[in-house]
Amino acid sequence: MTTSMTTIDESAFAQSIERYFELRAHWSKIHNLSGPDALCDVETDKQDSLAVARIALPKCPLVDVGSGNGIPGLLVALFRPDLQVLLVEPRVKRVAFLRSAASELALKNVSILRERWPAALPAAFRDPIQLVSRAVVDPASWPALALSSKAPVAALLRMLALQRPAFDDARFEQDATYNYSIAGHGERCVERWIARKEAP
């Protein structure tokens, strides 16, 4: 199993990261962007997004399912300008926030789709894509939901903390794991499962 990762200098994005969390705090006073406890956990949001940005395949569009307030997808787009990122979110106010934040942060590589998953994807996301979601369903249910779309999937990313259910699908093989820890939240990881090449 390879452990190749994209190197990211977090400090280079410090001002934009801070601006994102300022925007989120402002909007959350008026709109329900997430649970109140979750919105206070800035460090976890940042580290989870960095982990996804480091393990995501290069030049392969990333779809964040149930993006909510933009974690991890919006920050991944910030850290990885080489990636086209699609944020899929059904709730109107959250979509409004995502659009506002993407504009404020000048993220040219972000698209936003107000839909529930599985969804019909825009043309730019009809080639093989990679899929991620932090909290739309529990970890055991995520692969089935992700793969319920008709879109061709190059990679499935699993964000895991305490729950680490097995994933066994003959169409995919695990090729990378990024392990990290967050004070007060223990060990976490992101796994990258890539589609197996069909036999000739």
The string of pLDDT tens digits covering residues 10-25 is: 999 999 999 999 999 9
* β-strands 85-88, 153-160 pairing: unpaired
The string of pLDDT tens digits covering residues 126-137 is: 889 999 999 899
- Rounded Cα distance, 113 and 96, in Å: 11
Q: Give the model's pLDDT for residue 36.
A: 58
Of 44, 45, 48, 28, nearest to 36 by C-alpha is 28
Strands (E), 89-196: 110-113, 129-132, 153-160, 172-182, 186-195
pLDDT band at 200 (very low <50, low <70, confident <90, very high): very low
The stretch 88-103 carries a mean pLDDT of 97
Question: 18: left (phi > 0), else alpha (psi -120 to 50), else beta?
Answer: alpha
The stretch 163-167 carries a mean pLDDT of 95
Q: Give the model's pLDDT for residue 1.
A: 52
The stretch 129-152 carries a mean pLDDT of 95
In which residue are the tokens 């404020």 written?
104
Q: Average model confidence (pLDDT) for the chain? A: 92
Torsion sign, CA atoms 118, 136, 62, 114: positive
The stretch 113-124 carries a mean pLDDT of 94
Q: What is the CATH number of domain 10-195?
A: 3.40.50.150
Coil/strand/helix, residue 29: coil
The string of pLDDT tens digits covering residues 33-48 is: 766 556 678 999 999 9
According to DSSP, residue 118 is labeled: S
Q: Give the model's pLDDT for residue 184.
A: 84
Torsion sign, CA atoms 86, 69, 50, 184: negative
pTM (whole model) above 0.85? yes
Indicate if the pLDDT at residue 140 is higher than 60.
Answer: yes
Q: Give the model's pLDDT for residue 37.
A: 59
The string of pLDDT tens digits covering residues 63-89 is: 999 999 999 999 999 999 999 999 999
Domain ranges of the chain: 10-195
